[in-house]
């Protein structure tokens, strides 16, 4: 009888041992899986939150996904690929672009966009400025005022809200004009635009008005031939 009891105890110990070993393997396996999951989650790249653009107005007219409601009239249409170039300084021959336009419909908002250069490829300096008039209103634009932010390029780039553009009226006297209001009250208008510099190589790369029609209206700006 004692021998039988001893035999049972040995068998029980073997069973218990197998259970303990199996439990150990199960624990090790589950720990490994948990660690792998945690490691995998920690290795995932953080979710990138897209920041708002620092050039919202520029992106609306010339960004990768411009606003489809915005149209444009390009005053530099007809220029060469590199723009309208003047080989003479403005002090000798102040030419630039002079054109007339017809407005149809109602315009709700607009921008004046400019790309210009001096010395054929350099940005304008403090000794240069940009000249723009609409219906004989305006003049030498005061670029330190009213500029909207744009991405940098190799030449000068200006973007203005048409509702507020400052220009030099007299020596040391500046005025602010609402060109959008002028366009909304007119059916025709003329423009004169040029780079004002005493150096040759004055370039009008692009001068345009980007505009949007009033809600429920169609509109257009066309050159009068």
Domain ranges of the chain: 1-49, 56-223
Topology of domain 56-223 in CATH is Jelly Rolls (2.60.120)
Q: How many CA atoms lie within 13 A of 93 on its CB side?
A: 10
Own/partner pairs, 73-80, CB within 8 angstroms, 24+ separation:
73/101, 73/208, 73/209, 73/211, 73/221, 73/222, 73/223, 74/206, 74/207, 74/208, 75/99, 75/191, 75/193, 75/207, 75/208, 75/209, 76/204, 76/205, 76/206, 76/207, 76/208, 77/223, 79/204
Q: How far apart are CA 191 and CA 75, in angstroms?
A: 8
pLDDT in tens, 78-103: 999 889 999 999 988 888 999 999 99
Query: In terms of Cα–Cα distance, which of 136, 118, 109 is closest to 209?
Result: 109
Quote the percentage of the chain above a pLDDT of 90.
68
Q: How far apart are CA 36 and CA 181, in angstroms?
A: 65
SS3 23: helix
Across the range 57-78, mean pLDDT stands at 96
Strand-pair partners of 97: 193
pLDDT in tens, 111-170: 999 999 999 999 999 999 999 999 999 999 987 778 999 999 999 999 999 999 999 988
Asked if 149 and 58 touch (Cβ cutoff 8 Å), the reply is: yes
């Amino acid at each position: 009888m004692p021998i039988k009891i001893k035999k049972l105890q040995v068998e029980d110990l073997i069973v218990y041992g197998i259970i303990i070993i199996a439990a150990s393997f199960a624990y090790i396996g589950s720990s490994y899986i948990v660690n792998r999951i945690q490691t995998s989650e920690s290795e995932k790249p953080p979710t990138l939150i897209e920041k708002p653009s620092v050039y919202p107005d520029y992106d609306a007219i010339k960004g990768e996904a411009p606003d489809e409601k915005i149209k444009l009239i390009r005053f530099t249409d007809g220029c060469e690929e590199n723009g309208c170039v003047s080989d003479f300084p403005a002090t000798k021959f102040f030419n630039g672009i002079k054109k007339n336009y017809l407005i149809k419909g109602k315009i709700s908002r607009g921008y004046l966009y400019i790309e210009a250069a001096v010395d054929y490829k350099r940005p304008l300096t403090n000794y240069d400025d940009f000249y723009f008039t609409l219906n004989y209103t305006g003049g030498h634009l005061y670029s330190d005022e009213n500029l909207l932010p744009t991405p940098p390029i190799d030449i000068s780039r200006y973007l203005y809200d048409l509702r507020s553009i400052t220009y030099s009226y007299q020596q040391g006297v500046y005025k602010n004009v609402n060109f959008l209001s002028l366009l909304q009250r007119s059916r025709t208008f003329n423009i004169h635009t040029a780079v004002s510099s005493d150096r040759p190589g004055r370039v009008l790369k692009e001068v345009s008005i980007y505009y949007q029609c009033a809600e429920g209206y169609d509109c257009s700006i066309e050159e009068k031939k």
